[in-house]
Structure 1
Amino acid sequence: MDRITVLLADDNLIVRSGVRALLSRDEGLEVVGEAGDLESLIALAEELAPQVIVTDIRMPPTFNDEGIEGAKIVRKRSPGTGVVVLSQYDDPEYAVGLLTEGASGYAYLLKERIGDGGQLSRAIREVAGGGSMLDPEIVSALVSPAKDSSGLNAEQQRLLLQVGEGKAVKAIAAVTGQTPGAVDRAIGELFLVLARDASVGGKDALRRLRSLHTAILEREEQGETLSRMLPSKLAAKLRADPTASSRTERLTVTVVMSDVRGYSGIAERSDPGALAQQLNAHRQQMNAAVLSEDGTVMQYVGDAVMAVFGAPDPQPDHAERAVRTSLRMHELQRALDAEWQKEGLEPFGMGIGLSTGLVAAALLGSAERVEYTLVGDTVNLSQRLQDLARPAGTTVASESTVTAAGDRWQWEALGDHLVKGRDTPVAAYRLTTDTTRTEPTPSREEATR
């Protein structure tokens, strides 16, 4: 099981040591570094690429809000990094400041309670998956300025309490038997009442509640789907069309499957911690290559990466995008290998398979967990073609991909191959173009005459 990597940031060595000792009890977590000020926090985050940062608010050089500032800088550079802020301050203004750009991937906990029932470990896992978490005392402080408002009726008081507890609109709707739209309108009216109730500091309460409500909505719309490991493009599609989750779509796509050559041998010869960092860097770069062509990363399986172009939204040029992505993946991996060589680490030579064809795309799973899945021979074929992609640094495609991609690239015909799991031979082609070309290259037929 891959452990979640954590960077600790606090100017107090004793606090850092205590938090490290606390996290060492959890076998699923690994502390990879410690920082004592803003500068070292940013530098170590870039060097170690941790999945989660656990930080204090006030650190050198000015002892103001360096922890929150550093967290936001790191998040801009590496958006997938989760952040857990540990603070001795129960003033909700700090939590509001942390959540001004959205709640996904952030948690705010009070130091005095981090040892209670594994709360810190839960928060780290929550933000690592794109979720968020607020200390219950902070939630209470957020709503307390308006709790006693005489301008609220009993129903509005109950609604305010539910919002303050962090319940999502859909959850409130399910409990009260209303539609989500009706609940959303009721929350809007609640805000207006609070705004008019100046006698209990309504303006301040309104600002705080809006920040909390925004965090709840973002958690509902993004964090929940991220926790189920749904691709971001699919999450956007489901927000626009909730009925899409119940449909199976037939789409013509191009599937990209990559695999690190000799990974088992590399794992045998490498330090596990160093190898985990290599694998994390590899995945980040492969993800960047796929996203640069507007593709969808479907899953990571060990050292293998599976991506698709043409799903969940159709793309007429899906094959071209897939070919460009494979070139970019090799390019980025070569750059990583060059860096690793300087550090005495083994390179990750890759093979990539491309297959184009019809698939069925659907959300499959159980009530607790679902996955966006592609079903069909096209998926299986991409993996078989990846097996043929040798030596390392090679991309092999099916004939359907070569045809759909057009004449912009050069291919070497490898002939027909019988591959595992198929009764009929497959015509395979090795990509020989090193970079994309602005002028069309000779067609496949011309190149192989």
Structure 2
Amino acid sequence: MTPPPRTRVVLAEDSFLIREGLRRMLAELDDLEVVAAVGTLPELGAALREHGPDVLLTDVRMPPGHSDEGIQVAEQLAVEQPQLGVVVLSQYVEPEWALRLFEPTSARRAYLLKERVGDLDQIRAAIAAVAAGGTVLDPLVVDALVAARERRASSPLAQLSPREVEILAHVASGETNAHIAAELVLTERTVEKHITSVMAKLDLDPQDTAAHRRVRAVLVYLSAVSG
């Protein structure tokens, strides 16, 4: 029986020690193949053109600019190669980077904190998710941003009712509709109606999948409470 094809990954990380550590960890997995491991933005561009991978696993900051190169590449790939999955590793909880990464769609995108580098299962799961068209948002990013209390005066949340904001906060914490209903002593149908109203008020594309709209709503919430 022919084994399934392995997911081909390009790894981009400017730190040699982290890059080599990740490369060796991923090399132990039978379902992945690291086709290139690079340390600069020009090398990354060349590797993507040469190898045509399924997934890019990249740090946010790389030479020569050491700013937001990983996000820039993800934005470019969203236009030029939307089928290519991108997993971004960030040392920082940065709402703007997350929002840019998930534009114009959250499909095939993952945002993880760099401390996940040592967790092979987490990295493997994120790569598998984006390769299959899914989305991953690090729970630690959610926790850190939800902890912030101030909202910008121009926040999109201003148009939501207090109950809708409350439910959206629970959604941002990763809770299911059933769990939210139980915690707030509501029916699951009532929770669903509130979430539908939130999606409409935040002007999220009704043509997008329910899962991706949910992620977009969470990102709007996180960007507002982090201000």
TM class, shorter-length: 0.7 to 0.9
**Do the aligned partners of residues 77 and 137 (structure 1) sit closer, same or farther apart at CA in structure 2, a change above 3 Å counting?**
same
Deviation at 1:72, TM superposition (A): 2.2
Work out which of the residue numbers 15, 20, 37 in structure 1 matches 2:18.
15
Aligned to 2:220: none
The offset of 1:162, in angstroms, is: 2.4
* 1:163 equivalent in alignment to 2:171: yes
Q: Measure how far apart 1:178 and its partner are.
A: 2.6
Structure 1 residue corresponding to 2:47, chosen from 44, 49, 71: 44
Q: Secondary structure of 2:57's partner?
A: strand
Preserved CA contact (<8 Å) 1:56 1:87: yes
Q: Deviation per CA, 1:359-379: give whole Å up to 9, x if none.
A: xxxxxxxxxxxxxxxxxxxxx
Which residue identity lines up with residue 17 of structure 2 in the other structure? I
TM-score normalised to the size of structure 1?
0.39
Report the alpha carbon displacement of residue 117 of structure 1 after superposing the two structures with TM. 6.2
Q: Return the offset for 1:172.
A: 6.6
Letter in 1 for 2:5: D
- Give the structure 1 partner of residue 188 of structure 2: 176
SS at match of 2:86: strand
Find the counterpart in structure 2 of residue 431 from structure 1: none
Provide the aligned C-alpha RMSD in A.
3.5
Partner of residue 128 from structure 2, selected from 108, 115, 125:
125
Whether 1:53 aligns to 2:53 is: no
Contact kept, 8 Å, 2:85 with 2:130, in 1: the verdict is yes
Find the aligned partners of 2:210 and 2:178 in 1 and give their Cα distance: 8
Query: 3-state SS of the aligned residue for 1:133?
Result: strand
1:361 aligns with none
Q: CA deviation at 1:97?
A: 2.4
CA distance in 1, matches of 2:117, 2:204: 25
Cα separation, 1, equivalents of 2:122 and 2:150: 26
Q: Which amino acid aligns with 2:91?
A: Q
CA 1:123–1:25 in 2, change beyond 3 Å: closer, same or farther?
Answer: same
Question: Could you tell me how far apart the structure 2 residues matched to 1:218 and 1:142 are?
Answer: 25
Counterpart pick for 1:220 among 196, 210, 225? 210
User: Structure 2: 5+ residue runs without aligned partners?
Assistant: 152-157, 214-227
Distance 1:64 1:144, change over 3 A: same
Q: Amino acid of the residue matched to residue 176 of structure 1?
A: E
Give 2:28's aligned amino acid. R
Task: Give the structure with the higher percent strand.
Answer: 1
Q: Which moved more, 1:22-31 or 1:94-103?
A: 94-103
**Off by >6 Å, runs of 4+ in structure 1:** 151-154, 168-175
State whether residues 20 and 31 of structure 1, in contact with CA within 8 Å, keep that contact through their aligned partners in structure 2: yes
Give the Å deviation of 1:153. 8.8
C-alpha displacement of 1:112: 0.9
Kindly state the Cα deviation for residue 160 of structure 1 after the two structures are TM-superposed. Answer: 2.7
The structural deviation recorded for 1:139 is: 1.3
Distance 1:155 1:176, change over 3 A: farther
Corresponding residue number in structure 2 for 1:185 = 197
CA contact (8 A) 1:103 1:218 kept: no
How far apart, in 2, do the equivalents of 1:168 and 1:69 lie? 32
* Greater C-alpha radius of gyration: 1
Give the aligned residue type for 1:40: E
Aligned to 2:7: 4
Q: In the aligned structure 2, how far is the partner of 1:219 from the partner of 1:147?
A: 30
- In the alignment, structure 1 residue 82 sits paired with structure 2 residue 82: no
Distance in 2, Cα, partners of 1:34 & 1:122: 19
Q: Deviations over 1:144-190 (max 9, x none)?
A: 33489xx999844640332213468899789722374443225667x
1:187-266 aligned within 5 A? 218=208, 220=210
Instruction: Name the CA distance, whole Å, in 2 between partners of 1:7 and 1:89.
Output: 22
Deviation at 1:3, TM superposition (A): 0.7
Asked whether the 8 Å contact 1:38–1:60 carries over to 2, the reply is: yes
Verify the 8 A CA contact 2:177 2:191 in the aligned structure 1: no
C-alpha change, 1:47 and 1:167, in structure 2 (3 Å) is: farther
Match of 2:69 among 56, 59, 66: 66
2-structure distance, mates of 1:179, 1:130: 27
User: How many Å separate the matches in 1 of 2:105 and 2:176?
Assistant: 15
Gap change, CA 1:158 and 1:181, over 3 Å in 2:
closer
1:221-250 deviations in whole A, cap 9, x for unaligned?
A: 669xxxxxxxxxxxxxxxxxxxxxxxxxxx
